[in-house]
Amino acid sequence: MVMNNIALGRYMPLDSVIHHLDPRAKIMVLLFLMIAVFIPAGAVGYVVIAAFIVVALFLSKLQISYALRAMKPMIWMMIFLLVINTLVIKTGTPWIQWGWFSVYSDAIYQTLYIVVRLMFMIILTTILTATTKPLDLTLGIEKLLKPFEKIGLPAHIIAMMISIALRFIPTLIEETQRIMNAQASRGVDFENGGLKEKIFSILSLIVPLFVSSFDRAEQLANAMEARGYDPNRQRTRYKVLKMKTKDIFGMAMSVVILGVCLGIWIL
């Protein structure tokens, strides 16, 4: 069913340069590029970012189709955006004039502009999550947040929360599927039906999911405590991260791109 096709966020166990980069470096690169994407640096800026993305995608050995599939869920949003923009934005040159209906150039440009930004963001995030094991990602986040612990940010607790959430995503997807099947066997139709039926069918899914998740959460908390976990106590860590030259190089590249975009914008 639908659930099995989620591409966004899934780790792809391949052997590539990008896979072996330090997760902290990858997160920083993503951060720099995300900022760069939001700088209105015009076509040149986008071409530079696009070039970087293409190279990264190529190095990561991910299939282009995989990255594109990650964008599938966005298509409806894009269409929606286009429709809204067409109806609302009435500046620039009118391209189509058909009775009361008209499409102006700015509407199209504006939509394209947002769509391209969204695409960049999705592809970048997909590359990060597809080449980094969830746990390494969490560890990276934890280490990057470490300096903020001084001002009271509980970095290791945040990291633990994220890693447990990631760990249980597949379990919850499986569970959702199972409850859907069980309710479908009781005659629930999740796809058709009026509003009242829809609400009821969603309730029949959500309530059991909550009940079992709370159950799970309690058991998990017990298991963690029984194994000596105390969020307020010192812990050692199994995984250690080491920055290498290629990590520095990757980050430097992204800083350069950010600089170029900033430069174009300011000048």
Partner 1 sequence: MDAIKVSGLSFSYDGKKDVLSDVAFSIPKGCYTTIIGHNGSGKSTIAKLLIGLMSPKQGSIEILGQSLNEESVYKLRDHVGIVFQNPDNQFIGSTVADDIAFGLENHCVPQEQMQDIIEDVAGRVGMLDFLNSEPTKLSGGQKQRVAIAGILAIEPEIIIFDESTSMLDPQGKASINEQIQKLHSEKDRTILSITHDMEEVAQSEYVIVLKDGHVVLTGTPMEIFAHEKELASMMLDIPFALKVSKELTKEKITNQEVCTLEEVVNQLCQLKSTI
Partner 2 sequence: MSIEINHLEHTYNAGTPFSHQALKGIDLSIPEGKVTAIIGQTGSGKSTLVQHLNGLLIPSAGTLDICGFHIQPLLKIKDIKQLRKEVGLVFQFPEYQLFEETIEKDIAFGPKNFGIEEEKANELVRKILPMVGLDESYLQRSPFELSGGQKRRVAIAGILVLDPQVLVLDEPTAGLDPQGAKEMMTLFMDLNKKQGKTILLVSHDMEHVMRYCDHVIVLDHGKVLQENDVRTFFEHPEWMIEVGINPPAIIRLKMMLQEKGFKIPDSILDMPSLVECIKGQVNGHE
Query: Encoding tokens for residue 183?
Result: 């309710």
Q: Cα–Cα–Cα angle for 74, 8, 16, nearest 5°? A: 130
Q: For residues 184, 188, 191 and 197, what is the CA-based torsion angle, rounded to 10 degrees?
A: -160
Per CB under 8 A, the list member of 28, 188, 257, 258 interacting with partner 2 is 188
Query: Encoding tokens for residue 120?
Result: 């960049």
Please report whether residue 15 would count as binding partner 1 according to CB under 8 A: no
196-215: contacts with partner 2 (CB under 8 A) = 203-204, 206-208, 211-212
Per CB under 8 A, the list member of 60, 110, 163, 204 interacting with partner 1 is 163
Please report whether residue 167 would count as binding partner 1 according to CB under 8 A: yes
Please report whether residue 20 would count as binding partner 1 according to CB under 8 A: no
The CB-side HSE value for 184 (13 A sphere, CA atoms) comes to 10
Instruction: Say how many Å lie between the first and final Cα of the chain, rounded.
Output: 51
Per CB under 8 A, the list member of 97, 146, 167, 189 interacting with partner 2 is 189
| Separation CA 62–CA 68 (nearest Å) | 11
Give which of 125, 175, 138 is closest to 3, Cα–Cα.
175
Please report whether residue 4 would count as binding partner 1 according to CB under 8 A: no
Number of residues that bind partner 1 (CB under 8 A): 31
Please report whether residue 181 would count as binding partner 2 according to CB under 8 A: yes
Give which of 73, 79, 155, 142 is closest to 111, Cα–Cα.
79
Quick one: 191 or 230, whose CB is closer to partner 1? 230
**Other beta carbons within 10 Å of 204:** 18
CB of 170 to partner 2, least distance (A): 12
Please report whether residue 235 would count as binding partner 1 according to CB under 8 A: yes
Please report whether residue 1 would count as binding partner 1 according to CB under 8 A: no
Quick one: 196 or 233, whose CB is closer to partner 2? 196
Sequence-distant (6+) residues with CB within 8 A of 141 are: 27, 155, 158, 159, 162
5-64: contacts with partner 2 (CB under 8 A) = 5, 63
Per CB under 8 A, the list member of 61, 69, 216, 246 interacting with partner 1 is 216
Binding residues for partner 1, rule: CB under 8 A, are 133-135, 163-164, 166-167, 170-171, 174, 215-216, 219-220, 222-230, 233-240
